[in-house]
Amino acid sequence: MNVCRAFWPPGVGRSTVIYLGAMLIALGVGAHGAVASDPAKTVGPNACGECHKQEAEAWKGTHHFKTFREMPRNTTANEIAKRMGVRRIKSESLCLNCHFTVQQKDSKEEPVAGISCESCHSAGQEWVKVHSGFSGKTEKTETKAEEQARWKLADSKGMIRPSALYQLAKNCYSCHVVPREDLVNKGGHRAGSAFDLVSWSQGEVRHNTWHSKGKDNVAASAPRKRMLYLVGLGVELETALRAVGKATVRKAFAFEMARRADRARNLLAAAAKAAPNVPEIAKMLEVAHSAGLKLNNESRLTSAADGVAKLIVSITEKYDGSTLAGLDGLIPGADKLKGTARQASAAK
């Protein structure tokens, strides 16, 4: 299974995202779903929590945290595992990639937490010192140029920051679409859920307490929400197209993934109408419609997904959301938040 556990290679930046996309396909992530962080470079959430106390507290209130203890005890989990021939949920890799953070200790790989910091921000060993070191100075004495160089270096060592929207979204959808035919058809695992990047990131998952110095758990701004919405839909479409490409039998998985791709196309069509100043949305639809949502059509669906991915990346490069107010009416409102965001508690 190790070859299936891809990690962000060094040098990941916006310009390399396209190369990265190609590499992930080559590594079979399309088939297996999760983009898990590299166990050999994983430091674990306690190491992050030494400096990020409030973010860690917020995380402890989420399903991502609780799944570590609760999932293996869950009856449905044991039924799924049995059908998949998995005897021990916490030591066999089929469930590990999506439900746990795995860390290499000595020569053994051990699950150390549920879905944690590094499942979303990538394995930290090579970038923790860099991102937090203020270029060997202090927050006050580091120059702007040094700060920029520091972030560039952290990015190049694989860190996925809040500004790396496409990569952040790819991680969420690689788990939440559950793009694995066997797990769904044979295991009876749900084929993901009606995930939406705005409402699912701004509820219980939200932990924007660092830059406010712990004073507030800051909600994404209106322009950022527009970008989250659009990039999320694009990545949903990309992921679903790849998943349909992996479908080999006319069973639940094929239907669910095709339905997902179709739904994403319809929502993007509404977005294209609402934001005609973003021609990339219509192009995304054109590319997506070039491949039929049918069995045994992998090469066409994969190249359509690659085309969609390129357009999403170019959207993240060209727009910052300030000119996309047309989308506001489509974005799920506060009543749709998934869970409740933790209140900030003043001290960091």
Query: Is 340 near ligand HEC (CB under 6 A)?
Result: no
CB of 169 to ligand HEC, least distance (A): 7
Quote the CA–CA distance of 228 and 220 in Å, as a whole number: 9
CA-nearest of 34, 23, 19, 25 to 241 is 25
Using CB under 6 A as the binding rule, whether residue 324 contacts ligand HEC is answered as no
Q: Give the x/- contact pattern for ligand HEC in 165-194, rule: CB under 6 A.
A: ---x--xx--xx-x-x--x---x-xx-xx-
Q: Which residue matches tokens 């059509």?
A: 297
Nearer to ligand HEC, 205 or 304 (CB): 205
CB 281, min distance to ligand HEC, A: 21
| Length reported for the chain | 348
Span near ligand HEC by CB under 6 A; candidates 6-14, 110-118, 237-245, 319-327 = 110-118
Cα separation, 178 vs 172, whole angstroms: 10
Q: Is the Cα torsion angle 195, 198, 199, 200 positive or negative in sign? A: positive
User: Using the rule CB under 6 A, is 343 a contact of ligand HEC?
Assistant: no
CA angle 294, 297, 299 (to 5 degrees): 150
CA 58, CA 327: separation in Å to the nearest integer?
29
Minimum CB distance to ligand HEC smaller for 203 or for 326: 203
Nearer to ligand HEC, 15 or 148 (CB): 148
According to CB under 6 A, which residues from 46 to 75 bind ligand HEC?
47-52, 55-56, 59, 63-64, 67, 71, 74
Alpha-carbon 165 to chain mean position: 9
Q: Does residue 198 touch ligand HEC according to CB under 6 A?
A: no
In angstroms, what is the minimal distance from the CB of 159 to ligand HEC?
7
Q: How far is the CB of 251 from ligand HEC (least distance, A)?
A: 17
**Considering only residues 232-291, where is the footprint of ligand HEC by CB under 6 A?**
none
Which residue, 183 or 305, has its beta carbon nearer to ligand HEC?
183
Segment interacting with ligand HEC, rule: CB under 6 A, options 14-22, 206-214, 255-263, 266-274: 206-214
**311-321: b (≥16 Cβ within 10 Å) or e:** bbbebbeebeb
- Distance of CA 190 to CAs 73, 75, 176, 182, 250, Å? 18, 14, 10, 11, 16
* Sole binder of ligand HEC in the list 17, 80, 267, 287 (CB under 6 A): 80
The number of beta carbons lying within 10 Å of the beta carbon of residue 242 is 28
CB of 33 to ligand HEC, least distance (A): 3
What is the rounded CA–CA span in Å between residue 267 and residue 255? 18
Q: Which is nearer to ligand HEC, 9 or 279 (CB)?
A: 9
